[in-house]
Amino acid sequence: MEIMKSLKGRNFLTLKDFTPEEIQNFLDLAADLKAKKKQGITGSSLKGKNIALIFEKPSTRTRCAFTVAANDEGGFPTYLGKGEIQLGKKESVEDTARVLGRMFDGIEFRGFLHSHVETLAKDSGVVVWNGLTDDYHPTQILADFLTMEENFGHLKGLNFVFIGDGRNNMSNSLMVGCGKMGVNCTIIAPKALWPEEALVETCRGYAEEAGSTLTITDDTAAVTGADVIYTDVWCSMGEEDKAAERLTLLKPYQVNRALMESTGKASTIFMHCLPAVKGNEVTEEVFESEQSVVFDEAENRMHTIKAVMVATLGD
């Protein structure tokens, strides 16, 4: 399929930076690459490209997805784990960026501060992709949207509910993505964990332009009519000291059989970015149910990440 020329050479830091048409192009390319992969067809668009994979935070899906996707397209990924480079410690992020930019053709960053991935993008001179920061997780949203398209045939007009910690990177990114793509988005969370109002207003602007809605509430009854129920862990990486407090605060927001049934739709699917703490944010029963598409979603991390690399860096 044809890749939009506007994507070539672009950094992928947050979906805020892309138009709905560009996001759809990523999704269409991912679907095409996935179909080819199922037929045993891989490409060579990244042949001769060296790719740095920087990981401050541990990872299963993101690391494996970038590695396999790069290999499938002929690229050569190099893993740089925590403690293996001097990023922001003995060497400034700016200097690390300038060094890596002279050796690599693309850089993936998965870590804590969003400012770090922004600095890498500003100073490296090569394409940079956000594999997760404390603020945003855009590659996950593409995988989520591809999974939703596979289940419903479209995105626009779907009713999407995120329930749990409403101010984490997943909630932030889902609000942005849903707003851009015309998906009706509801964030259900206790008021203490609502997203930042400035981001909510930005995303409401996206939604208004796309003809959809964004609702923030603490009422679990808002799951009525949902096509998608989505949740995430109650304690993000680096917040483990808040586990007991979050358990008490979020227990009423668990995704269980009763909550799934209260959507009023047999077609509702359950999604989770993984890893899941079963028994906390979701019960084992729902996680293992036929409504759960979490492993399709996990696989789609690879296909969508491949699409991002091919579109922004590939020949």
Q: What is the mean pLDDT of each run of 10 residues along the chain (315 residues)?
A: 93 98 98 98 98 96 98 98 86 96 98 97 98 98 99 98 97 98 98 98 98 98 98 84 88 98 98 97 98 98 98 97
- Active site annotation includes 110: yes
- Active site annotation includes 301: yes
- pTM of the complete model beyond 0.95: yes
* 230 sits in which H/E element: strand 228-231
At 87 the pLDDT is: 87
Provide the CATH topology of domain 140-297: Rossmann fold (3.40.50)
Q: Which of 10, 63, 72, 110 is catalytic?
A: 110
- Active site annotation includes 254: no
Per domain, the residue ranges of the chain are: 5-137+298-313, 140-297
State the SS3 of 29-83.
Answer: HHHHHHHHHHCCCCCCCCCCCEEEEEECCCCCHHHHHHHHHHHHCCCEEEEEECC
Does 60 carry a binding-site annotation?
Answer: yes
**How is residue 100 written in tokens?**
């890596």
Does 185 carry a binding-site annotation?
Answer: no
Provide the CATH topology of domain 5-137+298-313: Rossmann fold (3.40.50)
At 2 the pLDDT is: 84
Does 92 carry a binding-site annotation?
Answer: no
Name which of 133, 140, 158, 96 is nearest 301 in CA terms.
140
Q: Which of 140, 235, 246, 254 is catalytic?
A: 140
Locate tokens 């892309």: which residue? 18
At 118 the pLDDT is: 98
**Same CATH fold assignment for domains 5-137+298-313 and 140-297:** yes
- Active site annotation includes 232: yes
